[in-house]
A and B are shown apart, each in its own frame.
Chain A
Amino acid sequence: ETGVTQSPTHLIKTRGQQVTLRCSSQSGHNTVSWYQQALGQGPQFIFQYYREEENGRGNFPPRFSGLQFPNYSSELNVNALELDDSALYLCASSPEGGRTGELFFGEGSRLAVL
């Protein structure tokens, strides 16, 4: 059974640039959630995808967007990067809409915006 994998693990961007982060969900999981964890903060929910549709969204501006593909892998795109977007971005997968079941996390993508 393959776990959740994320890429890239680390990256550096400058203000105004765009970034795409990728996540492969655990085998058999059709739900992917994305979280942002800034320094000293708990994870903040960005959005969730279930069977290729956005299934819930946190308080993030529209420049945070996502996709889920037929194989349930997912992308997080952030446009017009700001300094405050520097954070660890975590992807988590879960089976069947992730209603109450546990999440399985990747190791995260650490983004630095200069």
Chain B
Amino acid sequence: ILNVEQSPQSLHVQEGDSTNFTCSFPSSNFYALHWYRWETAKSPEALFVMTLNGDEKKKGRISATLNTKEGYSYLYIKGSQPEDSATYLCAFLNNRKLIWGLGTSLAVNP
């Protein structure tokens, strides 16, 4: 059974704090690793699609790294803002199917 695990399950930080979450996935048959942000009452929105071992991607204050050999990806948020409050989901692409983690719920207090 293929499993994607995310940690922590939830996180509360103060505005201005930097934070990071982990996504663990099977290291075999790797095709791609997706990160999505899902704000309440909105659609999930793609942050990154990562395909190469050692990939680092950045979008504004958010960045992600990928280690396909050991099966993990980190998502970093620098200087968290209240608008970063959302659930962050990762998904592992296996045989054309995306297998999703349960997400990390981030709350940023002003």
Contacts and interface: CB of A to CB of B under 8 A. Distances in A.
Contact of B44 (A56, A58, A90): A90
Interface stretch (B11-19, B60-68, B71-79, B93-101): B93-101
A103 to B, nearest CB: 6
B89 A102 contact: no
B32 A45 contact: no
A98 B96 CA distance: 8
A103 B34 contact: yes
A107 B42 contact: yes
Nearest to B87: A42
Contacts of A104: 43, 46
A50 to B, nearest CB: 9
A108 B34 CA distance: 19
B61 to A, nearest CB: 19
A105 B97 CA distance: 15
A99 B100 contact: no
Interface size band for A: 20 to 34
Contact of B102 (A35, A42, A98): A42
Nearest to A33: B98
B31 A42 contact: no
A100 B103 contact: no
A10 B1 CA distance: 32
B100 A56 contact: no
A101 B97 contact: no
Contacts of B34: 102-103
A44 B51 contact: no
Kindly list the 4 A-B residue pairs having the minimum CB-CB distance in the complex, ordered from nearest: A102-B46, A42-B100, A105-B43, A100-B32
